[in-house]
Structure 1
Amino acid sequence: MKDIEEVKRGRPVDPVRALASQALDAVMTPGREHDDVTGAPVSYETWIALLSEAFRDDDPARRRLVVGDILASGVDPHELIGSHIVDTAELLGKMWARNQISFAEVTIGAARLQETVRSLSARRRSAWRDVSGPEILLVAPGAENHLLALFVVGEAFEELGCYVHIAIGQEPDAIVRLAQERHFDMIGFSIASTRALKSVGSIVKRLRKSSARSTPLVLGGGICRETAKHTELLEETGVDHITSCPNEALKLCGLKALRVRAPEPRQARAPEGSDE
């Protein structure tokens, strides 16, 4: 294996890359969900290492193999999106912050994870849709770069029976027009840092002056982790509620979930220094 050869030459090796490489070369074979040597189920940590390696690889077959094996092990697509993919994104961010991978690698990896979320969600939507559920709009303002969380949260809302629309980087006026046309039951904003706060505030002001003024507005995402700042965020953005939990968001807006209760999606942390 490449990493073992690097060790023999006395060169430093990224421990995560080494673990994933060994898992791919020795532990896993197509269609397997157990360690070929011990027969034990593959650990969660190994799955995350496998995903972090596969989603930085240019070979799409490698990504499909790992995702397929995770699903074959009995993991539900909703759990794969809400846990495995979120934790893989967080690991990529940590590796970049530690200078273990390049910015290009973490960006490309995140984009591939994002596309996988969209693909898995679309596949599940084709099997069911509760058109009578709450219709909501999830917005990622133009200044927001961390989009993976938006798709993860969108999938969680769909699991609760919501009809979800997603708007990425659209101008405030375009979002207002969409809100007036669709009469959404809720509009949510997902942001990871303070960089997009002004954009959210601008959109909220326009919505308040339109025929969609009564639509409940919710702010979520990584920026909401510190509850001590919630009052400040409410004042700065003008939204009605702050939460990153889909279940709580529906309750705060007086809406009812029509499907099984979805767990709160875990938010992938942005790399250190990304708020600057």
Structure 2
Amino acid sequence: MPIDDLDQGYVVRLDAAARSTDSSACAILAREMIRNGITREEIADHYVPALARWMGECWVADEMSFAEVSIGVARLQTLLREVGPDWRADVIDTDGETSVLVVVPDAEQHTLGAVALAGQLRRLGLSVKLWLGYRAEEAHRVVAEARYDAVFLSLAHHGTLESVRDIITLIKKAAVNQPPIVVGGAIVGPPIDIRTATGADHVTNDVNEALRLCRLSVRSGQTAPREMRS
């Protein structure tokens, strides 16, 4: 959702909270937003990603320093954990649920999108293992420890394409059941054919499309979330 479509009062205040010296400012504001009718899902799926993108644009325009953006995005990522305590545990298909491995390579510095994606998938009833800081030497252990139904890679910049192709090759060799591999993130889009460049099975930034392409089913309803931790 574009940032202009959100409640601008809360956008401004959340931006200030993310830059505040008070590390609890984002969580305090989020609780107020929830009391006033903004759902935890809306905060996680719309407010946090939109504000993170806006911070990145400000850095490109030299309106925020790299340190300010790094701190702000880190605060927003912490907020995702605060608003979604039910969405954060790494669970590996212990009771027959569809399981997905979400991977961010070690060379990538942007992990917020993957954390948000993992939360979305868990709310849909999928079992998710979030692997931040992928290292090639760990591929066999992590991928072979469970039968994943799909592997999603979150990528931000084209400089990692060559290494990503190697990552996908290693994952395919290590996985016992050959799950489909989907690439998403800021890297998706012209002029590069990401599917050809990486060897991925699918390329998309649409979660529902990714699930459809991988033929993964989700539960029809969602369990009511618990209250956000204080």
TM-score normalised by the chain length of structure 2: 0.85
1:166 to 125, 130, 146: 130
Q: Please say if residues 52 and 76 of structure 2, whose CA atoms lie closer than 8 Å, have aligned partners that are also in contact.
A: yes
Match of 2:23 in 1: 60
Distance 1:77-1:225 versus aligned 2 partners, 3 A rule:
farther
| Secondary structure of the corresponding residue to residue 10 of structure 2 | helix
Q: Please say if residues 142 and 199 of structure 1, whose CA atoms lie closer than 8 Å, have aligned partners that are also in contact.
A: no
Distance 1:130-1:83 versus aligned 2 partners, 3 A rule:
farther
Match of 2:3 in 1: none
Match of 1:178 in 2: 142
| Secondary structure of the corresponding residue to residue 201 of structure 1 | helix
Task: Tell me the distance in 2 between the aligned counterparts of 1:48 and 1:63.
Answer: 11
1:107 to 49, 70, 79: 70
Unaligned runs of 5+ in 2: 1-5, 223-230
How far residue 166 of structure 1 moved from its aligned partner, in angstroms, is: 0.7
How far residue 233 of structure 1 moved from its aligned partner, in angstroms, is: 1.2
1:233 to 194, 200, 211: 194
Task: Tell me the distance in 1 between the aligned counterparts of 2:143 and 2:123.
Answer: 22
**Residue type of the alignment partner of 1:44:** D
Q: Please say if residues 131 and 163 of structure 1, whose CA atoms lie closer than 8 Å, have aligned partners that are also in contact.
A: no
Task: Tell me the distance in 2 between the aligned counterparts of 1:235 and 1:213.
Answer: 22
User: Any idea what the Cα deviations from partners look like across 1:65-116, whole Å, max 9, x if unmatched?
Assistant: 2111111111111111110111111221222223222211110110111111
User: Any idea what the Cα deviations from partners look like across 1:158-196, whole Å, max 9, x if unmatched?
Assistant: 121111111111212313321111110111100111122
1:244 to 191, 198, 205: 205
1:219 to 175, 183, 190: 183
Task: Tell me the distance in 1 between the aligned counterparts of 2:34 and 2:64.
Answer: 27
**Residue type of the alignment partner of 2:215:** G
Q: Please say if residues 173 and 206 of structure 1, whose CA atoms lie closer than 8 Å, have aligned partners that are also in contact.
A: no
Match of 1:86 in 2: 49
Greater mean alpha carbon deviation, residues 203-212 or residues 137-146: 203-212
| Secondary structure of the corresponding residue to residue 223 of structure 1 | coil
Counterpart check, 1:256 vs 2:201:
no
Match of 1:76 in 2: 39
Match of 1:269 in 2: none
Distance 1:89-1:130 versus aligned 2 partners, 3 A rule:
farther
Match of 2:226 in 1: none
Match of 2:169 in 1: 205
Task: Tell me the distance in 2 between the aligned counterparts of 1:117 and 1:210.
Answer: 31
Match of 1:32 in 2: none
User: Any idea what the Cα deviations from partners look like across 1:6-52, whole Å, max 9, x if unmatched?
Assistant: xxxxxxxxxxxxxxxxxxxxxxxxxxxxxxxxxxxxx7112111111
Greater mean alpha carbon deviation, residues 92-101 or residues 147-156: 92-101
TM-score normalised by the chain length of structure 1: 0.71
| Secondary structure of the corresponding residue to residue 209 of structure 1 | helix
Larger Rg: 1
Match of 1:117 in 2: 80
Match of 2:228 in 1: none
Q: What percent identity do the matched residue pairs reach?
A: 28
Q: RMSD of the TM alignment (CA)?
A: 2.2
**Residue type of the alignment partner of 1:53:** A
Q: Please say if residues 247 and 257 of structure 1, whose CA atoms lie closer than 8 Å, have aligned partners that are also in contact.
A: no
Match of 1:11 in 2: none
Greater mean alpha carbon deviation, residues 133-142 or residues 90-99: 90-99
